[in-house]
Structure 1
Amino acid sequence: MVQKMKIAKIISTKQVVVNAGSNVGLKVGDKLEIIDKFGDDPIIDPDTGENLGTLDLVKGTVIVSKVYPHMVIADSPKTSTMANLMQPNYLPGFIIQKDLNVDPSQITGGFPETSDQQIHIGDIVVKR
């Protein structure tokens, strides 16, 4: 059975805490997706009648950076500026860390930012 993980705390627009840790086998570098269910109606296989599940929308992707027994700290992805050669203000050799689309009212540190499809405490997290 897959461990049901959730966002437990929003540290900033770049870090969250997930309520699962080494107790379920998470380790540094694991990629996690924060998901939103697209409706509650199950998708049914027309041939077998089997319930195939529901559609998931990905709100954000995070990478585990620190593991505790029952929680992890996970960071938004980092990219090299080499991928951004054509962007204005390009600075070679710098790493850019993307912001997560979090609910600003739930940030426990940093400056709030507004955005659509906000990440909330209690959102489901899955290992991919």
Structure 2
Amino acid sequence: MADITITPANVIAGSNASIASGTAGETITAGQAVYLSSTSKKWMLADSNSATAEARQAKGIALNGASLNQPVSVQTSGDIIIGGTLTAGTAYYLSETPGGIQPAADLAAGEFVCLLGLAKSTTVLALNIQFPGVSL
């Protein structure tokens, strides 16, 4: 398998979503996993095998696209229509591709485990980020 393919225009926050807003620190596309940089205070693409420790822990999913220094909204928990095809009941994790989301079956050696959530259906991800701080 591979990272889920997301159609950015189809990414929609659920009615129970918790949403943060801020500024993009790089180009971000709706549906990508992001973290908030402690140094720049801007949202950046999360990456499970990044050399930067804080980048390995996603804090949410971007709800809109943004270029450097543009406003971005980030869903931090709750249901999200992810804009891609999921397998109901499957756990989805941060990928080694910056901003990517992958199913559990694709976790590989060298990646830090960051659970993004569980698929409630083929379109809805119950976003509940967990980061135990361990690598495979």
TM-score (norm 2): 0.30
Higher relative contact order (CA 8 A, sep 6+): 1
User: If each structure's strand is expressed as a fraction of its own residues, which one has the higher value?
Assistant: 1
TM-score (norm 1): 0.31
